[in-house]
Amino acid sequence: MKKALLFVVLMSAAAPVAAQNTAEVFVVHGIPAADVAGAPSGLPVDVSIGGACALPNLTFGQIIGPLHVPAGTYAVAVHFPATGRCTSPPVIGPAQVPLNAGENATVLAHLTGSGGLTASKFVNNLTPTPAGRARATVVHAANAPAVDLYLTTQFGNMTATRGLATSVVNGETATVPVAGASTQFAITAAGSTVAAYGPSTLGLQPNKAYLFYVVGSLANNSLGVIAKDVSELK
């Protein structure tokens, strides 16, 4: 089955170190239009924070941030655009999202393992990578069963596998240090050797950190990846 590839890579410019009482946050739209009946191309959404319309008209794959905000708990809701900004009832939330002082996090709108709409917070690892190696952090945020994640130079050849995380379920994160080089990324159902996604070649570089959000639906043939290079935020 042919799988579409979506890589939206945010090459962030160096950001100032977070103040003691602030957090850095990315907001990512990870719900494909194919997974919402009757949705227009790109599935534009509005995001409200604390009842105020903060991020109107985000489209699938779009990444906003890093936003520097005071630490605290925020009521975050996602709306399908109607006649005005954030005027339609929320389709996600409002959810109480805690942002802690000094942390860097992503708030991701995505599908549950059963195909529902949800939003989750993931704390981003910005610690230095091992010398000469890259770090790939993969988040399972798709309507798909437990999966195995492969980082390899030749999918199907276990001796070429550089990183492997097994039985990762929706909402879980797997982090693998790999040699920085061109690497294939593939996803299989847990225990299977048949790729449900990929293999797709990644141009990883040594001493860089990457985030990969697996989004969409296996059943709807919308499985894809939203990628972000966070190395410059260290």
Cα–Cα distance, 8 to 229 (Å, whole number): 10
Are 8 and 227 contacting, i.e. CB atoms less than 8 angstroms apart? yes
Cα–Cα distance, 28 to 40 (Å, whole number): 18
Q: What's the distance, CA 228 to chain centroid?
A: 8
What's the per-residue H, E or C state across 17-71? CCCCCEEEEEEEECCCHHHCCCCCCCCCEEEEECCEEEEEEECCCCEEEEEEEEC
Cα–Cα distance, 60 to 227 (Å, whole number): 13
Predicted pLDDT of residue 1: 36
Are 109 and 121 contacting, i.e. CB atoms less than 8 angstroms apart? no
Predicted pLDDT of residue 181: 76
Q: DSSP 3-state assignment of 14?
A: coil
Q: Report phi then psi at 74, rounded to 5.
A: -120, 140
Predicted pLDDT of residue 221: 87
Predicted pLDDT of residue 67: 92
Cα–Cα distance, 81 to 86 (Å, whole number): 6
**Closest residue by Cα to residue 91 from 171, 41, 146, 35:** 35
What strands, in cross-sheet order, belong to the sheet with 72-79?
52-58, 45-49, 72-79, 90-99
User: What global pTM score does this model have?
Assistant: 0.86
What's the per-residue H, E or C state across 209-230? EEEEEEECECCCCCCEEEEEEC
Q: Which residue has the tokens 């630490």?
A: 71
Predicted pLDDT of residue 232: 62
Predicted pLDDT of residue 137: 92
Given a cut of 50, the residues of the chain with pLDDT beneath it are: 1-18
Report pLDDT digits (tens) over 136-191: 899 999 999 999 999 888 898 888 887 888 999 999 999 888 887 778 899 998 99
What's the per-residue H, E or C state across 156-214? CCHHHEEEEEEEECCCCEEEEEEECCEEEEEEEECCCCCEEEEEEEEECCCCCEEEEEE
